Amino acid sequence: MTAMTDDTLPVTPRAMRDEMILFVVMAAVLSVVPWTGIYPFFVMQALCFALLACAFNLLIGYGGLLSFGHAMFLGTAGYVSAHALKVWGLTPELGIVAGIAAAAGLAVITGLVAIRRQGIYFAMITLALSQLLYFIYLQTPFTHGEDGIQGIPQGYLFGVFNLANSTTLYYVIVVGFLAGFLLIYRTINSPFGEVLKSIRENEQRAISLGYKTDHYKLLAYILSGTLAGFAGSLKVFVAQNASLTDVHWSMSGEIVLMTLVGGLGTVFGPVVGAFVIIAMQQYLASFGQWVTVIQGVIFVVCVLTFRRGVIGEIAHYFRRSL
């Protein structure tokens, strides 16, 4: 676990200040989007994926664990929220809670299995677990197989905010994203986050210092999966459907790609990466399967020449931690 951390900078007041300034700028930019004429649906979709990528990044960038199955949290939370809203007729907030709870439960179960191996095996195990779930969702009736759950009612959040109104929905998504982002940021800079980084750097030494590293890794995994589930629940309100594509391995690959492009182990990288990849998919939609090829090329180019990612390169250039 060395290569991606060769230029880790210590958390200093200056770094914290930089990050807080950037956070305020990001929040300000996001809050004026509805007046700029930018298609809000695109931004909402990108924000859901940005939160998902941030959750994924918590695990790989700070815990050194590459999950190749994070789509299972996105898809599970999406299905459960969609089912709760449409069939059980729950209110939006309860639908979100149901989705998050499902993702958290899934994270506990899969975490206990996956955490038993490290490194490359961890990636293969999470991939296999998500494929197992894919086949289960393909066969169980409540997911409606290939069709997915469609036409999900949006309803009134807390009985007040009409989510069918796209501006209202937009701000709800922005607030949800910022809350999730802050939670991850807080986690990274907490004593828990510091222990996690030490496990990434040298697990043996962390063990010899008396840390039960498996507990830390499992907790990080559960937190990451739960937040990925939150992103999945939010996405239901934007897309108004929940389908098998959200659980497929190619989705897990896209999550990895977003984080890699933005910068593994950077605070803002996954957000930038998510916007880049979602924008690319929008503009290249007419090229069909070539999008897959282009994604593959980005993977190859990033790994060979651009391992720090966009934000990582900028941070490296200015000798800052972003």
Partner 1 sequence: MQALYAQLLVGLINGSFYALLSLGLAVIFGMLNIINFAHGALYMMGAFCAYFLLNLLNIGYWPALILAPIIVGIFGMILERTMLQWLSGLDHLYGLLLTFGMALIIQGIFQNYFGSSGLPYAIPDELKGGMNLGFMFLPIYRGWVVVFSLIVCLATWYLIERTRLGANLRAATENPTLVRAFGINVPRMITLTYGLGVGLAALAGVLSAPINQVRPLMGADLIIVVFAVVVIGGMGSIMGSIITGFALGVIEGLTKYFYPEASNTVVFVLMVLVLLVKPTGLTGRAN
The residues of the shown chain that bind partner 1, judged by CB under 8 A, are 1-4, 60, 66, 68, 113-114, 116-121, 123-125, 127-129, 131-132, 135-136, 138-139, 249, 253, 256, 260, 288-293, 295-300, 302-304, 307
We find the least distance from the C-beta atom of residue 116 to partner 1, in angstroms, to be 4
The residues near 6 (Cβ < 8 Å, ≥ 6 apart) are: none
**Identity of the residue, 64 or 180, whose beta carbon is nearer to partner 1 in the bound complex:** 64
The span from the CA of 229 to the CA of 99, in Å, is: 6
CA separation, residue 316 to residues 7, 14, 53, 289 (Å): 8, 15, 21, 35
**Identity of the residue, 120 or 285, whose beta carbon is nearer to partner 1 in the bound complex:** 120
Which DSSP string corresponds to 115-153?
A: TTS-HHHHHHHHHHHHHHHHHHHHHSGGGTTTT-EE---
**Identity of the residue, 105 or 153, whose beta carbon is nearer to partner 1 in the bound complex:** 105
**Identity of the residue, 129 or 172, whose beta carbon is nearer to partner 1 in the bound complex:** 129
172-54-222 Cα angle (round to 5): 95
The residues near 184 (Cβ < 8 Å, ≥ 6 apart) are: 54, 55, 57, 58, 227
**Identity of the residue, 121 or 142, whose beta carbon is nearer to partner 1 in the bound complex:** 121
Task: Output the six-digit token pair for 111.
Answer: 């975490």
We find the least distance from the C-beta atom of residue 265 to partner 1, in angstroms, to be 12
We find the least distance from the C-beta atom of residue 264 to partner 1, in angstroms, to be 9
**Identity of the residue, 90 or 280, whose beta carbon is nearer to partner 1 in the bound complex:** 280
**Identity of the residue, 38 or 132, whose beta carbon is nearer to partner 1 in the bound complex:** 132
We find the least distance from the C-beta atom of residue 69 to partner 1, in angstroms, to be 10
Whether the Cβ atoms of residue 55 and residue 227 lie closer than 8 Å to each other:
yes
We find the least distance from the C-beta atom of residue 295 to partner 1, in angstroms, to be 6
We find the least distance from the C-beta atom of residue 75 to partner 1, in angstroms, to be 16
We find the least distance from the C-beta atom of residue 181 to partner 1, in angstroms, to be 24
**Identity of the residue, 31 or 118, whose beta carbon is nearer to partner 1 in the bound complex:** 118
The span from the CA of 222 to the CA of 105, in Å, is: 8
The span from the CA of 98 to the CA of 85, in Å, is: 10
The span from the CA of 192 to the CA of 185, in Å, is: 12
We find the least distance from the C-beta atom of residue 294 to partner 1, in angstroms, to be 8
The span from the CA of 144 to the CA of 195, in Å, is: 43
Dihedral (CA of 282, 283, 286, 289) sign: negative
Task: Output the six-digit token pair for 143.
Answer: 């997911």
